[in-house]
């Protein structure tokens, strides 16, 4: 889930940038220090949106820079346990599929793709259901549920997100649509018999 948060901090403006617009420089410096970092409460920082307040600069002896207290809004991505997410398959491996969900990646283990037994086709780079013949390949759009979450470290590379697609309404987008169409046909047949 994406969150917009209000954050207070102090930004250091180097003397070489004093002639540039203060707010633009502050946003740039804040983006450099925040974007891509993980905060346990806020999640992965995506961008600094805007500065709401900027205080008068203070100069510290021995450092020619100006330090400004700022209040700004930032956009972050924080996955939640049991949240249903949509994403794109970015890589298929023998053990599962990596799914890009927003700015992070999650893993759907082969046991969590479908209720069917799954075979790995290395030539095609696909996971294929033995009986259903459903296939999952790079570039497919999917809907999954977060079933395991470990937000550790300071970057998204250290975060682990476990996903499942073995529940109703989850899976490859085309599979979900096929299930909807089947239900609609059954409903129409039932209505026609009445």
- Cβ atoms of 87 and 127 closer than 8 Å: no
User: Which of helix, strand or coil describes residue 81?
Assistant: coil
- Count CB atoms within 10 A of the CB of residue 33: 13
84-184: CATH topology is OB fold (Dihydrolipoamide Acetyltransferase, E2P) (2.40.50)
CATH class of 2-77: alpha beta
194 pLDDT band (50/70/90 cuts)?
Answer: low
pLDDT, tens only, 124-135? 889 999 998 889
pLDDT, tens only, 23-49? 999 999 999 999 988 888 888 999 999
State if pTM tops 0.75. yes
pLDDT, tens only, 132-176? 888 999 999 999 999 999 887 666 677 889 999 999 889 999 988
Domain ranges of the chain: 2-77, 84-184
Q: How far lies 149's CA from each of 66, 78, 80, 104, 188, in Å?
A: 40, 11, 8, 12, 41
């Amino acid at each position: 889930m994406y969150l917009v948060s209000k954050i207070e901090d102090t930004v250091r403006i180097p003397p070489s940038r004093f002639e540039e617009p203060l707010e633009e420089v502050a946003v740039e410096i804040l983006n450099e220090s925040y974007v891509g970092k993980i905060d346990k409460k806020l999640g992965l920082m995506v961008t600094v949106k805007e500065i709401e307040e900027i205080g008068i600069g203070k100069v510290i002896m021995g450092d020619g820079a100006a330090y400004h207290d700022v209040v700004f809004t930032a956009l972050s991505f924080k996955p939640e346990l049991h949240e249903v997410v949509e994403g794109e398959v970015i890589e298929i491996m023998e053990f599962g599929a990596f799914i890009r969900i927003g700015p992070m990646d999650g893993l759907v283990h082969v046991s969590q793709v479908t209720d069917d037994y799954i075979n790995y086709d290395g030539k095609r780079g696909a996971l294929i259901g033995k009986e259903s013949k459903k296939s999952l390949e790079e570039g497919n759009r999917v809907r999954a549920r977060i079933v395991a979450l470990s937000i550790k470290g300071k970057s998204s590379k250290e975060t682990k997100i476990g996903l499942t697609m073995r529940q109703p309404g989850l899976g490859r987008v085309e599979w979900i649509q096929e299930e909807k169409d089947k239900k609609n046909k059954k409903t129409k047949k039932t209505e026609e018999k009445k």
